[in-house]
Amino acid sequence: MSQRTLAHYLIEEQRHKGVINADLRFLIEVVSRACQAISVAIGKGGLGGALGEAGSDNVQGEAQKKLDVLSNDILLNANEWGGHLAAMASEEMDLPHTIPHRYPQGEYLLLFDPLDGSSNIDVNVSIGTIFSVLKCPDGADLSSPEAAEAAFLQAGTSQVAAGYTVYGPTTLLVLTVGDGVVSFTLDREQGGFVQTGEAMKIPADTSEFSINMANQRFWEAPMQRYVSDMQLGKDGPLGKDYNMRWVGSMVADVHRIVTRGGIFMYPMDSKMKEKGGKLRLMYEANPMAMIVEQAGGAATTGYERILEIVPGKIHQRCAVIMGSKNEVDRATAMHKV
Ligand code: AHM
Ligand code: MG
């Protein structure tokens, strides 16, 4: 496979395929540079003084780590001046960030979970950044952060691009602009992303599942049945043995599935019912669902396709079942009985 840079890949998507325009290309390049800066900060670890608690809570009431706040700032600062965005929304911010008047406004909305897998930051386990791009509706009211929220309330099927970066042994950027899924590895010496994966495909069948088993007793009955069937292995109705992998960073767990197949689940549970689930629809579920579907997989809540949910608020949460198509279909069918 030819070794192309991210810039080269994006130019081809724009110039030859007409899949993206120059603004979207610029947006993705800016996000990639921000992710590179986040990767550097993470790589310094304790030496950079960036580990530990920030001493604040986010809008979801979760304690923020210093790196959550730093990553959020890096993405905001990198993206607000370029003229490609109308507004940004983040898991770490109560309200959308509108573009200051001193900068031109663009046609896109950027949403992100700046640092996914916060509980793994201080223990040197893979974490990531997840992002999603929407078109800003014509005539949207962006006069205040409160008013701007309405522009974001679009189903995941409207995403024009989505991606994630995994900060693991290597820093990897996985991207879709609606034309399949490609991946890039950060070249630390040269300082840029180089393509290392193309037309990524998730095998339809799998025998690997990923779920926080500690929550088992809180799940709904269909999920209890599905996971018990997998645990019964060859002796049960599924007729094969399964293995389990759980990192606890969605980005790392889903990346494993994009790479070699599997099923990732953060199902509805009775502890989370009032909140609507654990994972955030617009910063986590939607971008990951777009990537998984573009790679031939499937993504549902057990009851509906994630990408078809029309959000009522930007911080909305949902149950998540995603990965190898036949296994996601099986789990979803069990919810519909
Ligand atoms: P975060 O964005 O604050 O890190 O929360 C999301 C993370 C996911 O990456 C992961 O799948 C999940 O929370 C794990 O949560 P838990 O350890 O509570 O099961
Ligand atoms: Mg997250």
pLDDT in tens, 83-137: 999 999 999 999 999 999 999 999 999 999 999 998 998 899 999 999 999 999 9
- For residue 320, is pLDDT > 70? yes
Predicted structure pTM score: 0.96
- For residue 47, is pLDDT > 90? no
Residue 263 lies in a domain: yes
Query: For ligand 1, what atom is nearest to the CA of residue 128?
Result: 9
- For residue 62, is pLDDT > 80? no
DSSP string, 66-105: HHHHHHHHHHHHHHSSSS-EEEEEETT-SS-EEPPTTS--
Please compute the mean of the pLDDT values over residues 311-336 and round it to a whole number: 97
pLDDT of residue 57: 79
Residues 245 and 305 in one domain: yes
Residues 183 and 216 in one domain: no
Residue 203 lies in a domain: no
For the chain, the first-to-last Cα distance in angstroms comes to: 45
- For residue 337, is pLDDT > 80? no
The protein residue with its alpha carbon nearest to ligand 1, atom 3, reads: 118
Give CA 261 to chain center in angstroms: 17
Exposure string for 18-43, b = 16+ CB within 10 A, e = fewer: ebbeebbbbbbbbbbbbbbebbbbbe
Question: CATH number for the domain including 80?
Answer: 3.30.540.10
Q: How far is CA 49 from CA 46, 67, 75, in A?
A: 5, 10, 19
Residues 218 and 256 in one domain: yes
Q: What is the mean pLDDT of the chain?
A: 95
Distance 116 CA to ligand 2 centre (A): 4
The protein residue with its alpha carbon nearest to ligand 1, atom 14, reads: 248
Residues 158 and 219 in one domain: no
- For residue 268, is pLDDT > 90? yes
The residue among 197, 217, 239 that closes a domain is 197
| Structural tokens at position 16 | 């030859």
pLDDT of residue 222: 97
Residues 304 and 274 in one domain: yes
Q: Return the closest-CA partner of residue 35 out of 181, 170, 152, 197.
A: 170
Question: CATH number for the domain including 266?
Answer: 3.40.190.80
Overall domain count for the chain: 2
Residues 176, 151 contacting (CB under 8 angstroms): no
The protein residue with its alpha carbon nearest to ligand 1, atom 19, reads: 212
- For residue 244, is pLDDT > 90? yes
- For residue 334, is pLDDT > 90? yes
Residue 1 lies in a domain: no
Supply the range of the domain harboring residue 151. Answer: 6-197
Residues 180 and 35 in one domain: yes
Residues 50 and 182 in one domain: yes
pLDDT of residue 48: 74
Cα distance between residue 225 and residue 238, in whole Å: 12
The protein residue with its alpha carbon nearest to ligand 1, atom 7, reads: 117
pLDDT of residue 2: 56
Of 62-71, 125-134, 286-295, 313-322, the one with minimum mean pLDDT is: 62-71
pLDDT of residue 53: 80
Mutating to test ligand 1, I would choose from 249, 257, 265 the residue with most ligand atoms within 8 A of its C-beta, which is: 249
The residue among 197, 223, 256 that closes a domain is 197
Cα distance between residue 28 and residue 131, in whole Å: 10
Q: Return the closest-CA partner of residue 72 out of 52, 94, 45.
A: 94
Residues 135 and 53 in one domain: yes
Query: For ligand 1, what atom is nearest to the CA of residue 249?
Result: 9
Q: Count CB-CB contacts under 10 A for residue 238.
A: 17
Please compute the mean of the pLDDT values over residues 315-332 and round it to a whole number: 98
Residues 13, 20 contacting (CB under 8 angstroms): yes
Residues 152 and 14 in one domain: yes
Residues 174 and 296 in one domain: no
Q: 19-30, pLDDT tens digit by residue?
A: 999 999 999 999
Residue 307 lies in a domain: yes
Residues 180 and 253 in one domain: no
Residue 202 lies in a domain: no
The residue among 173, 197, 221 that closes a domain is 197
| Structural tokens at position 1 | 């496979």
pLDDT bucket at 49, cuts 50 / 70 / 90: confident
Q: Return the closest-CA partner of residue 108 out of 70, 82, 130, 78.
A: 82
DSSP H/E element including 331: helix 325-335
Q: Is 48 left (phi over 0), alpha (psi -120 to 50) or beta?
A: alpha
Query: For ligand 1, what atom is nearest to the CA of residue 215?
Result: 19
Residue list, ligand 1 pocket, CB within 6 Å = 62, 91, 113, 116-119, 212, 248-250, 266
Q: 186-216, pLDDT tens digit by residue?
A: 999 988 999 999 999 999 999 999 999 999 9
Residues 92 and 18 in one domain: yes
Tell me whether residue 7 is exposed, middle or buried, using C-beta atoms within 10 angstroms of its C-beta: 0 to 12, 13 to 18, 19 or more. middle
